[in-house]
């Protein structure tokens, strides 16, 4: 049986909270983009574009950070199954 995860909406949450979540997960942000522990911009592999903090999606599966859009989500579901 697959346990569905709850979705925590970041919409309307203050930027400080988003940055704090990212920091807690080992990332940094300049308020627009997200950077990994090596200082590299986090790129969404499904759209080949940098992820912006105001439209991010953090999913399970080695803590993957994506842009929140149908193309990325569909790619993720194809690769990992519908776990959400």
* Interaction between residue 50 and another protein (CB under 8 A): no
CA-CA distance, 4 to 33, in Å (whole number)?
Answer: 29
Instruction: Work out how close the CB of 64 gets to another protein at its nearest, in angstroms, rounded to a whole number.
Output: 10
Among 5, 31, 41, 80, binds another protein (CB under 8 A): 5
Nearest to 58 by CA among 78, 37, 79, 72: 72
The CA radius of gyration of the chain, in Å to the nearest whole number, is 13
**Which residues contribute to the site for another protein (CB under 8 A)?**
3, 5-11, 14, 16-17, 19-21, 23-25, 46-49, 54-60, 63, 68-71, 73-75, 77-78, 82, 84
């Amino acid at each position: 049986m697959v346990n569905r995860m709850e979705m925590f909406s970041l919409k309307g949450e203050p930027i400080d909270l988003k940055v704090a979540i990212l920091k807690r997960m080992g990332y940094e942000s300049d308020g627009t983009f997200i950077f990994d522990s090596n200082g590299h911009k986090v790129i969404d592999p499904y759209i080949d574009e940098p992820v912006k903090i105001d439209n991010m999606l953090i999913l399970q599966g080695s803590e993957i950070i994506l842009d929140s859009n149908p193309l990325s989500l569909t790619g993720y579901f194809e690769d990992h199954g519908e776990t959400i």
